[in-house]
DNA sequence: CGGAAATACTTAACATGTTAAGTGAATGCG
DNA sequence: CGCATTCACTTAACATGTTAAGTATTTCCG
């Protein structure tokens, strides 16, 4: 486990001065944050030109792939929290990029789908978006990219299972 | 590419999706986002118990390691944008966790440092934080973790250099 | 049937991300 | 010196992240 470089100012004194922890610029959360920011920085200008934020784009992509979904399902797919999604859907609906209709069987649920305008907008953004992705793939290497994504998936899974265990423990 | 022949026929058939774009749940930004979220989900409860957000914690850690820094330098270290940092510093100062003094040589700059209270708070959070990190390291594997971080760093570098090239091109 | 509990969202409140504009203090240079 | 420019922040405005509370609907169950 994480051994740190010796700290001459400290030793093992428990109560007094704090050890500088593992250089936090190399912590996992920071590495992930910086990598993601580096990637998103490539896409944001293009999205912005089309009047879309990253999250709005995620929602449209998710909707385009499934031809209608409930809000909760959409939240899971686009990896957004409910409140964020609620706001964004309100705005996207006002811009006529999506459509909603409450389900007949269950008035609580609402089905969301992309509108014709939404599809048109996607068509205008997709080429540039794909080009950027292709550029990244080429620069970083397709094989390496696949490896990276594989590891990211494993990390996610390994931590998700940690939480499942916590929940069981919590059950009082 | 990807003209989307609107296919209303498969309303509730999740099976055959004619994919206009690469399944976006496997896109690099989503992979990074989900991995990071999985990691942060482990830390947030502990930080919250101590009344700190993730960003406030980043700032304290950065300050603890360097014993005083200018705002711009701190922004780079903690990977925060100027406006976010300004707000957070205002709040941390109000809570007496940090101290500021304007530089004598240049009145525009202000030096920020962690206060005694700030150090004390860090000392109370650090053990749990380190324990969580150790748990993650153990679950995922130290070697694999190092590999992952190595790849993330390479990705960041490879995209940063892409931007450097863009800027040169823009310069005309 | 009827009320407690669960479900599917939505609102609210606060903190941060992101871009643009503002402010006051140094600098460059004619 | 004078003054436009640059610099180091800060404010502003809008969008999202995050948690808690609210609302309407449905389901569970006696």
Low pLDDT (below 70) residues in chain B: 1-22, 162-172
Covered bases, chain D (protein CB within 7 Å): 7-13, 15-20, 24-27
Give pLDDT tens digits for A148-160.
Answer: 999 999 999 999 8
Contact (CB<8Å) A29/B14: no
Q: A172 pLDDT exceeds 70?
A: no
Contacts 24+ apart (CB under 8 A), A24-31: A24/B58, A24/B61, A24/B62, A24/B65, A25/B77, A26/B149, A27/B133, A28/B39, A28/B133, A28/B136, A28/B145, A28/B148, A28/B149, A29/B36, A29/B39, A29/B40, A29/B43, A29/B54, A30/B58, A30/B79, A31/B148, A31/B149, A31/B152, A31/B153
**Residues B56/B92, Cβ–Cβ less than 8 Å:** yes
Nucleotide nearest to A104 (CA to C1'): D25
B28 Cβ nearer than 7 Å to chain C strand: no
Q: A96 pLDDT exceeds 50?
A: yes
Q: In angstroms, how far is C28 C1' from B160 CA?
A: 31
Q: How confident is the model at residue A16 (pLDDT cuts 50, 70, 90)?
A: very low
pLDDT at A20: 46
A44 Cβ nearer than 7 Å to chain C strand: yes
Task: Name the percent of chain A in helix, strand, coil, to the closest 5.
Answer: 65, 5, 25
pLDDT at B90: 97
The mean per-residue pLDDT over the stretch A139-153 comes to 96
pLDDT at A165: 61
Average pLDDT over chain A reads 84
pLDDT at A67: 79
Q: A5 pLDDT exceeds 50?
A: no
pLDDT at A3: 36
Q: In angstroms, how far is D4 C1' from B108 CA?
A: 19
Tell whether A111 lies on the interface with B, counting CB pairs under 8 A: no
Question: How much of chain B, in percent, has pLDDT values that exceed 90?
Answer: 73
Q: In angstroms, how far is C3 C1' from A13 CA?
A: 60
Instruction: Please list the residues that pair with A70 across neighbouring strands.
Output: A111
Chain B contact probe: residue of A23, A67, A119 with most B CBs at under 10 A = A67
Complex prediction ipTM: 0.85
Give pLDDT tens digits for A30-59.
Answer: 999 999 999 999 999 999 999 999 999 999
Tell whether A76 lies on the interface with B, counting CB pairs under 8 A: no
Question: Mind listing the domains of chain B with CATH numbers?
Answer: 48-163 (1.10.10.10)
Greater model confidence, A16 or B38: B38
């Amino acid at each position: 486990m994480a051994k740190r470089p010796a700290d001459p100012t400290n030793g093992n004194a428990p109560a007094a001065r704090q050890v500088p922890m593992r250089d936090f610029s190399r912590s996992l959360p920071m590495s992930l944050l910086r990598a993601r920011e580096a990637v998103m920085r490539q896409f944001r200008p293009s999205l912005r030109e089309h009047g879309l934020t990253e999250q709005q784009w995620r929602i449209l992509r998710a909707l385009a792939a499934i031809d209608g979904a409930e809000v909760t399902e959409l939240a899971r797919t686009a990896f957004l929290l409910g409140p964020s999604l609620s706001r964004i859907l309100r705005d996207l609906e006002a811009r006529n990029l999506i459509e909603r209709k409450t389900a007949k069987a269950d008035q609580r649920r609402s089905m969301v789908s992309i509108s014709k305008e939404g599809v048109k907008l996607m068509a205008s953004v997709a080429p540039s978006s794909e080009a950027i992705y292709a550029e990244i793939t080429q620069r970083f290497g397709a094989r390496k990219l696949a490896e990276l994504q594989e590891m990211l998936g494993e990390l996610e899974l390994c931590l998700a299972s940690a939480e499942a265990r916590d929940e069981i423990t919590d059950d009082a």
